């Protein structure tokens, strides 16, 4: 897993195993304002690395003026459907 925080230049890479929980006491412990989440991700960390932000700085990733026009970028649904067509 790669954790990227908008505005932060460093990234956090985690190698390990992730499990999706759909029920159990952990979900109730994660409740916020009385709302219990439907899912939780538990990560067993085997390795953890912090990567410097030079790549992000050079790429201008967080510079909104370099981003494509939103009207030209496919929606998440369009991307999902295009990948489903490839899988079948």
Condensed to tens digits (0 to 9), the pLDDT of residues 2-24 reads 888 887 888 899 999 999 999 98
pLDDT of residue 7: 78
pLDDT digits (tens, 9 = 90+) for 62-83: 788 988 888 899 998 988 888 8
Its pTM surpasses 0.85: no
Residue 7 or 31, more confident: 31
d(Cα 72, Cα 74) in Å, to the nearest integer? 7
Burial of 73 (0-12, 13-18, 19+ CB in 10 A): exposed
pLDDT of residue 88: 58
pLDDT of residue 4: 86
d(Cα 51, Cα 34) in Å, to the nearest integer? 36
């Amino acid at each position: 897993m790669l954790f990227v925080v908008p505005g932060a230049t460093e990234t956090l890479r985690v190698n390990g195993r992730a499990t999706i929980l759909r029920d159990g006491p952990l979900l109730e412990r994660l409740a916020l304002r009385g709302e219990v989440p439907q899912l939780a991700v538990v990560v067993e960390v085997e390795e953890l690395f912090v990567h410097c932000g030079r790549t992000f700085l050079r790429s201008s990733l967080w510079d909104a003026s370099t981003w494509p026009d939103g009207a030209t970028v496919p929606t998440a649904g369009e991307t999902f459907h295009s990948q489903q067509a490839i899988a079948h």
